[in-house]
Structure 1
Amino acid sequence: MTSRGKFITLEGGEGAGKSTLLAGLRQHLLAQGVDLVLTREPGGTPLGEAVRAIVLDPAQRGMCAESELLLMFASRAQLVRECIAPALAAGQWVLCDRFTDASYAYQGGGRGVPEERIATLEQWSVGELRPDLTLLLDLPVATGRARAAGRGEADRIEVEADAFFERVRAAYRARAAAEPSRFRVIDASLTPAGVLAAAIDATRHLFGAAA
């Protein structure tokens, strides 16, 4: 019988360095012989990528919080059924750039959508699926925004005010404090090598845990 794969998610605010860490962690896991699937949210499927284009489009500034939340969960439901669940069932590991914690942080903390409403959508769209490990890249909002400023034209989320991102960061940190066994908070102000080393250390227990 094939053992269930491991599900690792990366979370963090703008400019936290998730893309750099994803590349380094992917290389490390592959070197360990892991059969790995790399994906992202919103996105990861044709439907999800179409949703991503809508959600991040600066022309959609009038999108209400409820529409944003529902679009995120539409993308997530498709990703789970088309990609994540089948991969885990086949014994593959999944490394995902954001997952449901992002909705609690961005649409919950940032937009003010009640947590219980997000929890209802979570139960309906992804069931009991939760990451085995969530790496939260944490750094001050000002630092992250300064990093992100050099990446080209800002998307619909990136143009939000600092206060929005402060709420996002606070929501992430609260979730990490509430679930210390799942989260590993990493100081994203470290060098890329330091961040990667911390992430690798956080994954070590997954190799000895049979699903």
Structure 2
Amino acid sequence: MSKHHSWPRFITLEGGEGVGKSTNLAAMAELLRATGRELVVTREPGGTPLAETIRELLLAPRDEKVAPDAELLLLFAGRAQHWQQVILPALQRGAWVLCDRFLDATYAYQGGGRGLDVGLIDSLSELVLKAQGPALTLLLDVDVATGMSRASERAALDRFEQEQLSFFERVRASYLARAEAEPERMKRIDAGQALAAVQRDVASVLSAHIAHCEIHHVD
């Protein structure tokens, strides 16, 4: 992906279970709406009626073991629809797009967690996204034990949330490795802090990015 194209107004929020994505996504949306531009808030898996149906297939607990390759292909099927129908058109008309999880999650969960070949994920990403992606990714990071403790306080666990702790340790390690490899794009936020501190850090990173886009008249 040597010719990777980052869309300045495309921002993603990543992290494992129980890191507080929903709360922080709402705060980020408020900051982005304050720019006066259109904002599209979306999520993966999901984002279109078809992709939401695929999300249900992916998350529903089931007796049948889901082959990792099947899981990966379902994710990219949903992503192809989401990208072509929602994300790319919004970016092309100058809107901000804020997405709860995107491609990094696939490298973390299917690459790190499931142990799938990263080259296979690269190939599917090239096919679906044509080397396009977000200019800024915020990674909410907390130790796995804390995150899973928080997640367990919610409603019934989905198929992914029922995985073993070792799975989530691999997911976290993969996320952190990606953040270390791409420090300009991917910013780690300590989600183990008090919520006010987390939101202050999130606002700081996001505000700096918005200011950069405005100063440089990014279209």
TM-score bucket (shorter structure): over 0.9
Residue equivalent to 1:91: 94
SS in 2 for 1:70: helix
Q: Which runs of 5+ in 1 are unaligned?
A: none
Q: 1:208 pairs with 188, 197, 212, which one?
A: 212
Task: Give yes or no for the alignment of 1:155 onto 2:158.
Answer: yes
Residue equivalent to 1:130: 133
Pair 83,60 (structure 1): closer, same or farther in 2 beyond 3 Å: farther
Find the aligned partners of 2:191 and 2:108 in 1 and give their Cα distance.
17
2:145 aligned partner, one-letter code: A
* Preserved contact between residue 54 and residue 75 of structure 2 (Cα < 8 Å): yes
* Preserved contact between residue 8 and residue 134 of structure 2 (Cα < 8 Å): no
Task: Give yes or no for the alignment of 1:116 onto 2:126.
Answer: no
- Count of aligned residue pairs for this structure pair: 208
Find the aligned partners of 1:140 and 1:93 in 2 and give their Cα distance.
31
Shift of residue 5 of structure 1? 5.9
Find the aligned partners of 1:85 and 1:146 in 2 and give their Cα distance.
36
Identity of aligned residues (%): 51
Residue equivalent to 2:80: 77
Residue equivalent to 2:19: 16
Shift of residue 207 of structure 1? 3.1
Higher mean alpha-carbon deviation, 19-28 vs 199-208, is at: 199-208
Find the aligned partners of 1:154 and 1:41 in 2 and give their Cα distance.
17
1:101 aligned partner, one-letter code: D
Which whole-Å deviations, capped at 9, do the CAs of 1:175-209 have from their partners, x for residues lacking one? 00000010110000122222222112112233333
Shift of residue 41 of structure 1? 0.1
Q: TM-score, normalised by structure 2?
A: 0.92
Residue equivalent to 1:182: 185
Pair 196,34 (structure 1): closer, same or farther in 2 beyond 3 Å: farther
Q: TM-score, normalised by structure 1?
A: 0.95
Shift of residue 158 of structure 1? 0.2
SS in 2 for 1:133: strand
Find the aligned partners of 2:210 and 2:132 in 1 and give their Cα distance.
17
* Preserved contact between residue 65 and residue 111 of structure 1 (Cα < 8 Å): yes
SS in 1 for 2:134: coil
Find the aligned partners of 1:11 and 1:34 in 2 and give their Cα distance.
23
* Preserved contact between residue 61 and residue 156 of structure 1 (Cα < 8 Å): no
